[in-house]
Structure 1
């Protein structure tokens, strides 16, 4: 049985998507995290091992959220990325595994020689 959202709120100022599920869990997912883990082919590639590391997304925000059928949403980011469809299962997985996925992303950035800017210093 899949988890389904009961409430979705975008907090523009904090750049955070708050999503509550019928499991009783609520996740606060940063726009940057959602952008770098987009399910789009542009980010994930067209097959295993073809993903593209996303860099420089510290100040990205979500401009709009469009429902897609009864199974997910399309997030429209202010860097013009809007090709990934976030299913409820994807959003739930991103919420449940935030710490692991975020640390893995930071490690991949470091291994690729990229330094992430401090978001608190972004105007």
Structure 2
């Protein structure tokens, strides 16, 4: 399991630059990170329960908090801060960007939504844990 040697948040270009000790270096767009957040809020509580994320093109990472030696917890400008991004998850986001974007575009199309549509406002019954 490759470990990160470098982690840089680029606000201007809205990417997280991450280098791993196997020589891989990725520039992961904040939008991709946000859309594929490993949090329950995005992933749901089982297959098919994922919550489609839209309107995240301009989202910023406002803080990045290390969690142990295995993950980081980014805070996003839209208030989302419950995702624990393991090195494994970040590596996957970096190395499979093209496939993940295609998958996201396909899910948007299937839902009849655009990438920049605002997220529907959640009402009641949310499963937030603070």
Pairwise same-fold verdict (TM > 0.5): yes
Q: Which position in structure 1 is the counterpart of 2:48? A: 49
Counterpart-to-counterpart distance in 2, 1:75 and 1:65: 4
Distance 1:116 1:102 in 2: 11
Q: Deviations over 1:81-110 (max 9, x none)?
A: 000100001101111111101110011111
| 1:5-43 per-position Cα deviation (integer Å, ceiling 9, x unaligned) | 000001001111000001101000000000000000000
* Runs of at least 4 residues off by over 3 Å: none
Per the alignment, residue 10 of structure 1 pairs with: 9
Aligned-partner Cα distance in 1 for 2:115–2:54: 8
Summarize deviations over 1:27-80 as a string: whole Å, max 9, x none: 000000000000000000111211110011111010000000000100100000
1:24 aligned onto 2:29 = no
TM-score of the aligned structures, taking structure 2 as reference length: 0.87
Give unpaired runs (5+ residues) of structure 1: 118-123
Matches within 5 A, 1:50-89: 50-89=49-88
Q: Which residue of 1 aligns with 2:112?
A: 113
The answer to whether structure 1 residue 93 and structure 2 residue 92 are counterparts is yes
Structure 2 unpaired stretches of 5+: 117-130
| RMSD of aligned alpha carbons | 0.8
